[in-house]
Amino acid sequence: MYAMKENLDFEDKSTKDLLSKYDMSFFLNQNIDDNDYSDEDISTMRDSFQFYQKDLIEKSKENSEQLFLYVEGQVRKMVTGGSLPSLFNLNETRELRILDFKASGHDWAYFSYWQKHYKRKVRLEQFWEWTTKVGSVLAIILTIFQLYEIIIP
């Protein structure tokens, strides 16, 4: 079992990796099941999510790198403000009850955008790490072959 962290440090890579594994829609559905929200409120949240998701896609066409940095800042606010740790049950002292459904849809869209791009960044880092390891092994093997050719002509 993992020990719960009281304060998540968003600057820590392990925190970002942990958050990128969570599916916000699953936890929102859990929260909806646990609480008695009206269908209108749930619909407002989902409509807000779709609106902001389309908006982010349009904005990303202009300057995707700066948008990612902006969205990462928004996710950082969600973490330090406590809404994400509460939603994901990473903070044992708080329970989340959704009060602003439009804002929850907004947060959901921003988190999904960040998660998608952060996972891509992690995959590229893993690929680069794997490539350098394979390259190192190949360099060692080629060096051994060269030494073998020099020693035994």
What confidence tier does 6 reach under pLDDT thresholds 50, 70, 90? Answer: low
- In angstroms, the CA 128 to CA 139 distance is 16
The reply to whether 35 falls in a domain is: yes
The answer as to whether 7 is a domain residue is no
- Geometric angle at alpha carbon 17, from 12 and 20, rounded to 5°: 125
- The answer on pLDDT for 28 being more than 60 is yes
The string of pLDDT tens digits covering residues 101-147 is 898 999 999 999 999 999 999 999 999 999 999 999 999 999 999 98
Domain that holds residue 17: 13-118
Residue by residue, DSSP assigns 84-129 as HHHHTT--TT-------HHHHHHHHHHHHHHHHHHHHHHHHHHHHH
- Answer whether residue 3 is part of any domain: no
Residue 152 lies in a domain: no
130 in a structural domain: no
pLDDT grade for 13, boundaries at 50, 70 and 90: confident
**C-beta of residue 24 within 8 angstroms of C-beta of residue 53:** no
Structural domain total, the chain: 1
Distances (CA, A) of 63 to 18, 60, 121: 27, 5, 17
Mean pLDDT over 2-13 rounds to 66
Would you say residue 3 has pLDDT above 50? no
Q: What pLDDT score was predicted for residue 36?
A: 85
Q: Assess if residue 98 is contained within a domain.
A: yes
89 assigned to some structural domain: yes
Mean pLDDT, all residues of the chain: 87
pLDDT digits (tens, 9 = 90+) for 81-104: 878 888 888 777 667 778 888 989
Query: What is the mean predicted confidence (pLDDT) over 69-91?
Result: 86
Q: For residue 99, what are the contacts with CB-CB under 8 A and spacing of at least 6?
A: none
Note whether residue 147 is domain-resident.
Answer: no
* pLDDT (average), residues 17-46: 89
Instruction: Tally DSSP H helices, then E strands, for the chain.
Output: 5, 0
27, 80 Cβ separation under 8 angstroms: no
What does the pLDDT read at residue 18?
85
